[in-house]
Chain A
Amino acid sequence: DGGITQSPKYLFRKEGQNVTLSCEQNLNHDAMYWYRQDPGQGLRLIYYSQIVNDFQKGDIAEGYSVSREKKESFPLTVTSAQKNPTAFYLCASSIKGRPLSGAGEKLFFGSGTQLSVL
């Protein structure tokens, strides 16, 4: 079955530590996204990538980094510079980053990673 796989499901970060969240998709989608979800808030975009070897900052990119070396993979690193990292992190993909028809593209989401601070 095609889909998006996020791992791990739960992750704990120590003070000053960098941690990496994995996101893999086998949908052959061009675009991939990372969102952060906090209780009582809407999903906020961290980074997105419309093509391999290219990515753009979203609304809350500070303290995070990404890479897109393969079409299937879009890992997110939460660095020690992110002072409030506790949240539910969601990876998503869409068929194309720039819709050809001008119509919006729906997102397919992974099952999420809950990151907490020790």
Chain B
Amino acid sequence: EDQVTQSPEALRLQEGESSSLNCSYTVSGLRGLFWYRQDPGKGPEFLFTLYSAGEEKEKERLKATLTKKESFLHITAPKPEDSATYLCAVHGQGGSEKLVFGKGMKLTVNP
């Protein structure tokens, strides 16, 4: 069974203090690993898809990386508007067409 574990569950940073969020996964053949951002009371917003180990993608202050066991979402010099819950999900080749989501990681960036 595909599984996703995100850590830490919550993270509080000062503005400008860089850090990384971890997503560990077990899957029978990775079709894709997805990162989403979710603001309170809203639906998740797509950030990145990673398909194979060694792949990296960047968007503004965010950079996602992928190994065979985990993905990291690096946040460089965060701003208060980066405060949100970040979700990680995997799509495996186990025959199901569904994504498996982690519990999410709530990031708070203080000014």
Specify whether A and B are partners.
Answer: yes
| Residues of A that sit less than 8 Å from B by CB | 4, 6, 31, 33, 40-45, 48, 50, 58-59, 88, 90, 92, 97-99, 102-112, 114
Among residues of A, the one whose C-beta sits closest to the C-beta of B45 is: A109
Among residues of A, the one whose C-beta sits closest to the C-beta of B97 is: A97
B17: min CB distance to chain A, Å: 25
Q: Is B44's beta carbon under 8 Å from chain A?
A: yes
A98: min CB distance to chain B, Å: 7
Q: Is B25's beta carbon under 8 Å from chain A?
A: no
Question: How many A-B pairs with Cβ below 8 Å?
Answer: 68
> Do A48 and B32 have beta carbons less than 8 Å apart?
no
The listed residue (A33, A42, A109) touching B104 by CB distance below 8 A is A42
Number of residues from B at the complex interface, CB < 8 A: 26
> Do A110 and B49 have beta carbons less than 8 Å apart?
no
B89: A residues at CB distance < 8 A:
43
> Do B42 and A104 have beta carbons less than 8 Å apart?
no
> Do B98 and A106 have beta carbons less than 8 Å apart?
no
> Do B31 and A99 have beta carbons less than 8 Å apart?
yes
> Do A107 and B31 have beta carbons less than 8 Å apart?
no
- Nearest 5 A-B pairs (CB), nearest first? A104-B32, A109-B43, A104-B91, A42-B101, A104-B31
